[in-house]
Amino acid sequence: MERMLGYLLCLNILLFHCGHGAPPGFRLRLAGNASSANQGRVEVLYNNVWGTVCDDEVNIHLANVVCKELGFMHGITWAHSAKFGEGQGPIWLDNVLCSGTESSLADCQSNGWGINDCTHAEDLGVVCSPERQRGFTQPSDSVVHPPSPPAQAPPSTQISNILEPPGRRGHELAIHRSGPRQGPNRRYGHQIQLRPYNHDRPRNQESSVPRGHQLPDRLRNAGAYRQASDSQASRGLQGRSNTLPTSQTVQRTPNTNINGGQTPASETPTYERPASEPRQMAQHANLPEENNLNFDFTDQYNQISSGVDIDEVRLRPVLTSTRRNSMVTEGVVEMKLAGRWRHVCGLGWTLSNSKVACGMLGFPAAEQADEPVYRKLWENKIADPSTRLSAMVTKKGFWVEEVRCAGTEPTVAECRTQLSIPHNDVPCVGGIPAVVRCVPGHQFAQAAGRTVSRPATKPEVRLKAGPRLGEGRVEVLREGKWGTVCDHMWDITAASIVCRELGFGTAKEALKGAQMGQGTGPIHMNMVQCTGREISIKQCRHREVPLRSCKHSEDVSVRCHVPTTGLETTVRLAGGRDPAEGRVEVLMEVGGMQKWGAVCSENWGIREAMVVCRQLGFGFASRAHQETWYWPGSVDAGEITLSGTHCIGTELSLQHCRRNGHVFCPSGKAAGVTCAETAPDLVVDAQLVQESSYLEDRPLHLLTCAHEENCLSSSAARMHWPYGHRRLLRFSSRVMNLGRADFRPRAPREAWVWHQCHRHYHSIEVFTHYDLLTLNGTKVAEGHKASFCLEDTYCPEGLHKRFSCYNMGEQGISVGCWDTYRHDIDCQWVDITDIRPGDYVLQVEVNPSLDMAESDFQNNVMRCRCRYDGARVFMYSCHAGDAYSAEVEDLFEHQQQITNNFL
């Protein structure tokens, strides 16, 4: 039997298309909307059972395929999170990827029939154009049925696309390719199902994946599980800025000095031309106004030759080819001294000099420019005696005579600089202005007009919880586990190595004392000392961290120089009480013209708001507003020009997020944001969950209140209350706020709901999800924890408790404090009464709906391997969701052996 299946598998892979193909009896309909036939929840009939489609990884192509299959002209948009109501029966499709050319939804790629990790709260809906296709013939049963009947064959009033095929006998071998995954854990292959044809199954039977012969292990697909997309994976820019190219300027401000001394923070970036700026080359090249980008020097700098204090550095694009892109990466380098811009003599200018200058402008590296082209252009301009430039080049005040850098300096101010040579009457004899060509990081390559290329190796350093691009807590990867760096001897040179490794320029600041929030897990490095020539921080000299010698309150952070992209000029806030608040307005291309407009508030959430605040340089989003009628918008932005926005949260601009091709905003409401410099960061204590887990068989008469709060599985409703019991997997959980702002419920105190059974107020509808998953990611048991009391259960020494639920007090979790939920309180469990013995994954997720803003959402999930033998439970390998590398996380999900056992 195995050999036959192997031959069939090989033959089908070679001969057949890797999509699903429409199975026998496949139908499609829209449900849940009685008012309109062209919109509703997507439901499919498979194996004689109606089911829904999950909204994961959906785009407009899927909506087009569904709408065309139902006879409409095209799709307008899609709706996620069960906007048209929750369906019933199985969830047949998940992670559906359509190219738009398919003739049927069944031809699109997906996880496979019945393979999903979704709930009906994630049911997909679509909105189709009201126009019908000409010549499209519908079956007689072609109207929308608003309520979807529970798991039964379709009644006679449905929009349907395929009639029932005649009965068939035998077995079918279903082979389809798994859809492509995002992130580093990409799995490709085929999924196989061998099942008998069965058309005699009762039509009201609730069936999941069709049963059939089980394939041998060597033919079974080991990749049929959902992998989370690596939102931290580096991406090139998806589009160019709509602004004109500008010169890039970096401006000196105070910061942390090389020995770690703290000085005032950097000033606000300016965007104005100095009155004393020399205009000789700008006049001939017809250059646009330049943008100034903030940068700072350290307080210690060594200028051996002349003690020259360089205030700013910029690139002036001269060639036409360098002025086409929104990001300037090549041009004549200029330095500002005492309020006056000077050219730098190109005699003796080296690639090391260029590297330092590029680092200040936000670029990690430099390459040799085409000097003969610039020399020819320069000689042609100064040869004309009628130009002002021909007279200026003979003056010493026009030049910086010499700059010598080793290439390891964080700023040009630390290089040897000489303004003029005393015995030379004519400056820069035979030379031309120094020319610099910078190499942008991979995330900025597209904006610079270069080919986007992924890094050759996976990054082993990352920045976490930073309010702006190029800022954050430094974490390094060692032996598959992410950890932090202790701040002993941390300086600007080591910080610059981190910044360049991540595709930015040199460091503006080297921060100590967990100024970007505390990390979790191990501390990998201490006393880091770099020469400036290393490619990675892991190549720098450092010491191991003995146990308890460093604390996470000493975690290091960086602020890097980032290039000027011009993206901040394509979005603005209007009507708010301060510049960091207001209605969001974006610059979009409408009818071939650039036009300002508002953003539709449908699907608007905290992730989209985070992108806007980061794009404007305002830090984190503290609130995503879906009502902005109280904020007057700009006169030239009265219309909505952007709708259906879906952001991961790491995009460089709102225009880079997924969006509708056509504006569709039924509510007509505009979105808004409130930005903040700091944000909370909730993390679940994984060790406490691992050490406190146990089983309890609890009588039903003690679970009345828990049943009212939906803390039991659905089968509890069919029991003979109050007789019987439920088997509960209980554990304690402790939620820590490691951010830089207090965590507060979104709803004001007057909006809290009183629960008579437990005699307490609910400030958040759902604060925590508890899920038991199979090893392929399918939920088999779940629970939730309503936030009846957010309070400071424990605060370390030096911090005071400020939140308590006693007497309807203020609720929240202070910075650095913990909120503990003991194992013996209601709903602090997962109901596993219906679970068979086996290996599972316990997942605990706080703030699952992202109702409240945080500086880092990736560490909200805690996961444990769980083995249940029917009488005992063993919990091990508990960790935060982003604590391990992708490879180690993959082993965590699939290894069968127990690595440790604390219970």
Give the residue-averaged pLDDT of 511-537: 93
pLDDT at residue 593 is higher than 80: yes
**pLDDT confidence bin for 398, thresholds 50/70/90:** confident
Would you state the pLDDT for residue 186? 41
Among all chains, which residue has been given the structure tokens 């060509």? 437
Give the residue-averaged pLDDT of 539-561: 91
- One-letter amino acid of 355: K
**pLDDT confidence bin for 523, thresholds 50/70/90:** very high
Share of the chain above pLDDT 90, in %: 46
Would you state the pLDDT for residue 893? 66
**pLDDT confidence bin for 845, thresholds 50/70/90:** very high
Q: What is the pLDDT of residues 306-322, one digit of tens each?
A: 346 777 899 988 887 77
Give the residue-averaged pLDDT of 522-535: 94
Give the residue-averaged pLDDT of 502-530: 94
Four-residue CA torsion sign, 695, 699, 701, 702: negative
Tell me how far apart the alpha carbons of residues 545 and 523 are, in angstroms, rounded to a whole number: 7
Whole-prediction pTM: 0.70
Give the residue-averaged pLDDT of 767-788: 82
Check whether the bond before 579 is cis (ω within 30° of 0): no
Give the residue-averaged pLDDT of 546-553: 85
Closest Cα to residue 310, out of 362, 252, 256? Answer: 252
Give the residue-averaged pLDDT of 59-68: 91
Tell me how far apart the alpha carbons of residues 529 and 823 are, in angstroms, rounded to a whole number: 46
Would you state the pLDDT for residue 455? 64
pLDDT at residue 221 is higher than 80: no
Tell me how far apart the alpha carbons of residues 847 and 820 are, in angstroms, rounded to a whole number: 15
Would you state the pLDDT for residue 784? 66
Q: What is the pLDDT of residues 691-728, one digit of tens each?
A: 999 999 999 999 988 888 788 888 888 898 889 999 99
Tell me how far apart the alpha carbons of residues 173 and 414 are, in angstroms, rounded to a whole number: 70
Please list the residues that pair with 760 across neighbouring strands: 755
pLDDT at residue 82 is higher than 50: yes
Distances, alpha carbon 293 to alpha carbons 244, 329, 509, 676, 894, in Å: 16, 14, 15, 21, 48
Would you state the pLDDT for residue 746? 85
Please list the residues that pair with 785 across neighbouring strands: 768
Tell me how far apart the alpha carbons of residues 96 and 93 are, in angstroms, rounded to a whole number: 7
Would you state the pLDDT for residue 429? 85
Give the residue-averaged pLDDT of 31-47: 90
Distances, alpha carbon 454 to alpha carbons 184, 232, 457, 505, 652, in Å: 11, 13, 8, 18, 17
**pLDDT confidence bin for 477, thresholds 50/70/90:** very high
Tell me how far apart the alpha carbons of residues 688 and 603 are, in angstroms, rounded to a whole number: 36
pLDDT at residue 267 is higher than 60: no
Q: What is the pLDDT of residues 321-331, one digit of tens each?
A: 777 777 899 99
Would you state the pLDDT for residue 805? 78
Q: Are 605 and 853 in contact (CB under 8 A)?
A: no
DSSP code string of 87-124 = --S-EEE-S-B--S--SSGGGSBBS-TT-----GGGB-
Share of the chain above pLDDT 70, in %: 76
Mean pLDDT of the chain: 78
Half-sphere exposure of 73 (CA within 13 A, CB side): 6
pLDDT at residue 607 is higher than 90: yes
**pLDDT confidence bin for 647, thresholds 50/70/90:** very high
pLDDT at residue 231 is higher than 60: no
**pLDDT confidence bin for 453, thresholds 50/70/90:** low
Number of other residues whose CB lies within 10 A of the CB of residue 477: 18
Would you state the pLDDT for residue 808? 75
Tell me how far apart the alpha carbons of residues 850 and 861 are, in angstroms, rounded to a whole number: 12
Counting every residue written for the chain, the total comes to 903
Give the residue-averaged pLDDT of 144-172: 41
Which tokens go with 331?
């041009």
Tell me how far apart the alpha carbons of residues 357 and 360 are, in angstroms, rounded to a whole number: 5
**pLDDT confidence bin for 353, thresholds 50/70/90:** very high
pLDDT at residue 374 is higher than 70: yes
Q: Are 609 and 663 in contact (CB under 8 A)?
A: no
193-197, 268-272, 520-524, 604-608: least confidently modelled range = 268-272
**pLDDT confidence bin for 155, thresholds 50/70/90:** very low
Would you state the pLDDT for residue 790? 86
**pLDDT confidence bin for 144, thresholds 50/70/90:** very low
Give the residue-averaged pLDDT of 473-497: 95
Would you state the pLDDT for residue 138? 61
Give the residue-averaged pLDDT of 26-31: 92
Tell me how far apart the alpha carbons of residues 530 and 566 are, in angstroms, rounded to a whole number: 33
pLDDT at residue 111 is higher than 50: yes
